[in-house]
Amino acid sequence: MRATTAAATAAIAGGTFAIIYGTIEVTAAAAGLTISDGVRTLAANFIGIVVLGPLGLAILCRQRTILDELGCLKDLVLTDDRFQAQREYNAIRRQLGDDGDNITRLYPKE
């Protein structure tokens, strides 16, 4: 949960940086000033890293949670299959009896 909170906070910070930089671009354009390509590239990279980095972290954390839940479901299904097989085996043994003389009840002769 802390990772999700940190990711959301960082994404909000990245959005804020994007708004601030957009305001600087608009103000510079209105004043007739130019911003160098290096500053634009640096700002775009910084905003991209701040926004997309936490998003990737949040995706990885959620993926880990999903994989853990799938592992639990797999264990549950395997356990249920084992119990079903044991019940079927016990039912067959009950029908056969202890000495196996009752095999004709399971597979009658035609």
Which tens digit of pLDDT belongs to each residue from 4-31?
A: 677 778 778 878 888 888 888 888 888 8
Q: How many domains does the chain have?
A: 1
Burial track 43-63 (b if 16+ CB lie within 10 A, e otherwise): beeebeebbeebeeebeebee
pLDDT in tens, 33-81: 888 888 888 888 888 888 777 777 778 778 888 888 888 888 888 888 8
Contacts 24+ apart (CB under 8 A), 20-23: 21/47
Q: Please tell me which residue, 96 or 73, carries the higher pLDDT value.
A: 73
Residues 6+ apart with CB under 8 A from 7: 54, 55, 57, 58, 61
- What's the pLDDT at 105? 56
Q: Summarize the confidence of residues 70-97 as an average pLDDT.
A: 82
Range of 66's domain? 2-106
Give the model's confidence band at 106: pLDDT under 50 very low, under 70 low, under 90 confident, else very high.
Answer: low
Q: Is the pLDDT of residue 104 over 80?
A: no
Q: Summarize the confidence of residues 75-100 as an average pLDDT.
A: 78
- What's the pLDDT at 99? 56
- What's the pLDDT at 102? 54
